[in-house]
Structure 1
Amino acid sequence: MSKLVDNLIERVFPRLRRKPQYAYPAAIAIFLIAAAARMGLSPWLENSTPFLTFFVAVLLASLVAGTGPGLAVVAASFIFSWYIYFPGPGWFPLDGSAVVALGSFVLFSLLIVTVVHLLNRRVEGLLDERMRSESLLQDSALGELQLEQLNIELRHRLKNTFAVISGLISQSARHTRDVDQFAAALAGRLSAMGNAIDLVATRNFIGASLNELIAGTLKPLVPPGKARFVIRGPETIIPGDVASALALTLHELGTNAIKYGAWSNNGGSVSVTWTLTRLDNDDSRFELLWSERGGPAVSAPERRGLGTTLIDSGFPTAQVERRFDEGGVQCSLVAVLRQATTRRTRGRAPSVR
């Protein structure tokens, strides 16, 4: 029984009070029941005490349906009692005792409505507070779970990052004899990696925006001048390991463009464009094209250094092709991305296969 009462007070009545299309009909029904009960009790009650059932009706209507319906029951009860019982069927004449009785009924009924109104507000306030507390507790539990997941992901990323940095240092040292050249090359590669890691971290390790990754990686390398660098393509989220590898690839392409390609003179330009093509299985074919224009004639390198290796490796499972045209290097990178990768800046962590 107590559970039923709690359910009515905490759930049913508040919902009813928020819907006038149901609250006022409920109040009318309460009034009609009270009027019928009063008429049924007429043989045992004097006409001078007509309000016995109507006090109960005002209380129930205010509690169940709310303040407005409660006031409506007060008005209906007042009119009904005046017409039926003072001074009998009809409106007039009224004596002093009838006026006092009607006035007392209105006064006490308004007091009942006011008290119940304050009670309802207090109950609903407590319910809202309880819901907020439960929501905060749930958010806290979810926050702790997410924090733990982020810590695990962070540890995983740090291990991978240190492994990559260690490999870059050893490979850079192997392919570079000059200390200054070694330091400059390593600093540039680490900067590209750091930019990728920062972009991934700002999205809670979900991935990095391809637009932001390309712009952030190549902006320090672009020489001054108009239209030296253009990027164009749909916004795409790529996972963290792919972002780091692609950042290194783009950095090496940009470095080579400065040394030998379109950015080595005053008029050459580089464009980076990419497309996403939906496949039959809801995966997408991702193609990125690095295109140099207006630079000096270039040719394939005579020896394979670390930069060439980083460019040709691309990111996992990607197919990379380079052409050395008269106007500059043309490099295409193609991979198949799962559906999650093609989502825009929000979504689950993308993946590559």
Structure 2
Amino acid sequence: MKKLFPLLTFLAVALISMVMAGFAYFATQEATRIKFEATVDDAISRIETRLDLHLTLLKATQAFFAVHNNRVSANEFRAFISALDIEGSFPGLRGIGFLQLVDVGSEALVERRIRDEQGVERQIYPQSDQKWRAPVVFFEPLKPSSDTLLGFDMFSEPIRRQAIEATMRDDTQHATAPMMLGGNSGVEPYPGFIVFSRLKAGTSGEASAAPGVLYAAFQASELFQTALRRLPLLPVHLEIYDGAIEAQNQIFTSATPAVTGVGRIVDIRRLTIAGRQWTLQFEPTTAFSPPSSRAIPVMLGLFGLLLAGAIALVARYKERAYDAAEKLHQTAEHSLVEKDLMLQEMKHRIKNLITRVLAIARQTASHSADVKEFSDSFAARLQAMAASQDMLTRSRWQKADLRELLRIELGQVFGKDLPEGLLSGPQVLLDETATQALGLTFHELATNALKYGEAGNSVDALKVEWRVERAGRNKSLVLNWRESGQADLKEPATTGFGTKLINMNITRELYGSIDRRFLPSGLQVEIKVPLK
């Protein structure tokens, strides 16, 4: 028995060492998996944000048509798309187009419209045995090499027809299956997909234009590479499939190869985009670094075989490794919860922002004489909203300084160099709602001062002062806007959209009050809003 004791001791230590090494390896694998899942969550968030932004642009175009009761000319459509700067601001989106739905036999109406508005002779093609035709009437940005796209009947092609029929049935956005695009526009074909959105019937008493469908064409490689190239770069290899993971369903695959071999990690997620379910397969690349080395379990096993006294050390290491893995797991879970909350908050803010943009677009269009006036006014108001959003972003959506907000908004109208003494008041920090509402208000006041007041000649004619009033636990911001040097100042007979926008922001958004006084010495505006 004594002779066997060394062997039994060796076998016991070896067995314990292998078990301990196995636990350490499992903890390492689990920590690696959790870390990679967090990286995949970041990649999913980037892709969803990019797709939501592009599909929102299609909704904005739908609203543009609705404002014009679906009667939009080629020049109006071109001016609208040009103002959006699709090529510079929306990589992956090749353009937005309009299809006019007509019965078979009515092709001449569309051909005449293309000739009158686009200046080209085009027959509807190809031949079709369907009862409907859906030829391309508009597509922007329409480059010289893509003129041949005009007149192409998308209803004649099965994949496109399936998506068009779906959007006509339920009046929501629908995407096509992956397909090769560009062949009908004279460019090198590229893999991508199309999203269709039906035009809604007009709401005014006037009869709306012929029914139609808007569509956006996407180049898959450019769209998803742009989302993944945002810093910091993510160490993931991504493959996207339309439905099941099969070669014929592949939409996109990233260029960076995945790590293969023992310990290969695969994370599969699913997204529903415009009525289609996509399958996203993520794998780590060589740039992905596990939270701990895989060589550690092997080293533990070797030390256990050589040194019986290493049992205590291995047990201690196992405990530390287990605690580290547990803390990492808890940290990852907490991070996932925070990311989900941030994503929900971002979606909520984007929806609210879209609602405000669409409302401003409708009101600006109804008070604009032509497309240029609409484009200038709409762009200026969007720039004012963007300035407020930028301040909130820099402060991590906490608080924005009133003085800095005034400097930004007035600087956009009067120039970057504002005279000393123009702004006077204590430091006031504004929340998100107040920042956005007051940003638009200051923009409208400054624009009116530039157009109609003496401030258009000299910004010294303008003074802005504010103070904070306290009543018990309640605080209020009182801001005085004074313009001097105006002769024969009279209260306008009608109320413009800018004035309505100011009133809505102050009274409805901030539950405050505004008092305008048209004095012989100039315009005086007092704004009073509660502070949180």
Shorter-chain TM range is: 0.5 to 0.7
Asked if 1:203 corresponds to 2:203, the answer is no
Distance 1:135 1:278 in 2: 47
Distance 2:396 2:346 in 1: 9
Does structure 2 retain, via aligned residues, the 8 Å contact 1:261–1:296?
A: no
Q: 1:310 aligns with which of 486, 501, 512?
A: 501
Letter in 2 for 1:326: P
Distance 2:434 2:350 in 1: 15
Does structure 2 retain, via aligned residues, the 8 Å contact 1:192–1:217?
A: yes
The equivalent residue for 2:351 is: 159
Q: 2:385 aligns with which of 189, 193, 198?
A: 193
The equivalent residue for 1:323 is: 517
Structure 1 or 2: more strand by fraction: 2
Does structure 1 retain, via aligned residues, the 8 Å contact 2:411–2:417?
A: no
Distance 1:296 1:254 in 2: 18
Distance 1:332 1:136, change over 3 A: farther
Distance 1:233 1:225, change over 3 A: closer
Does structure 2 retain, via aligned residues, the 8 Å contact 1:153–1:205?
A: no
Percentage of matched positions with identical amino acids: 28
Q: 2:373 aligns with which of 165, 168, 181?
A: 181
User: How far off is 1:220 after superposition?
Assistant: 1.2
Equivalent residues in 2 for 1:186-335, closer than 5 Å: 186-222=378-414, 227=419, 230-266=422-458, 268-280=460-472, 282-313=473-504, 314=506, 315-335=509-529
Does structure 1 retain, via aligned residues, the 8 Å contact 2:422–2:460?
A: no
Distance 1:300 1:133, change over 3 A: farther
Letter in 1 for 2:492: P
User: How far off is 1:221 after superposition?
Assistant: 0.8
The equivalent residue for 1:113 is: none
Q: TM-score, normalised by structure 1?
A: 0.53
Distance 1:137 1:182 in 2: 53
The equivalent residue for 1:35 is: none
- Could you report, residue by residue, the CA deviation over 1:192-245 in whole angstroms, capped at 9, with x for unpaired residues? 011111222233323432222222112111258763872222323322222222
Distance 2:401 2:321 in 1: 40
The equivalent residue for 1:170 is: 362
- Could you report, residue by residue, the CA deviation over 1:268-287 in whole angstroms, capped at 9, with x for unpaired residues? 4322222222321x221221
Is the partner of 2:412 in helix, strand or coil? coil
Is the partner of 1:163 in helix, strand or coil? helix
**Any stretches of 5+ residues in structure 1 without a counterpart?**
1-125, 342-353
Distance 1:226 1:287, change over 3 A: closer
Distance 2:451 2:390 in 1: 27
The equivalent residue for 2:155 is: none
Is the partner of 2:521 in helix, strand or coil? coil
User: How far off is 1:133 after superposition?
Assistant: 8.2
Distance 2:420 2:489 in 1: 18
Equivalent residues in 2 for 1:103-118, closer than 5 Å: none
Distance 1:225 1:209, change over 3 A: closer
**Any stretches of 5+ residues in structure 2 without a counterpart?**
1-317
User: How far off is 1:294 after superposition?
Assistant: 3.2
User: How far off is 1:261 after superposition?
Assistant: 1.1
Distance 1:296 1:326 in 2: 7
Is the partner of 1:285 in helix, strand or coil? strand
Distance 1:242 1:248 in 2: 10
Distance 1:224 1:195, change over 3 A: closer
Q: TM-score, normalised by structure 2?
A: 0.36
Distance 1:184 1:199 in 2: 23
Which has the greater radius of gyration?
A: 1
Is the partner of 1:220 in helix, strand or coil? helix
Letter in 1 for 2:512: A
Distance 1:262 1:142, change over 3 A: farther
Distance 1:226 1:207, change over 3 A: closer
Does structure 2 retain, via aligned residues, the 8 Å contact 1:260–1:296?
A: no
Distance 1:141 1:278 in 2: 44
Structure 1 or 2: more helix by fraction: 1
Higher RCO (Cα < 8 Å, 6 or more apart): 2
The equivalent residue for 1:336 is: 530
User: How far off is 1:251 after superposition?
Assistant: 0.7
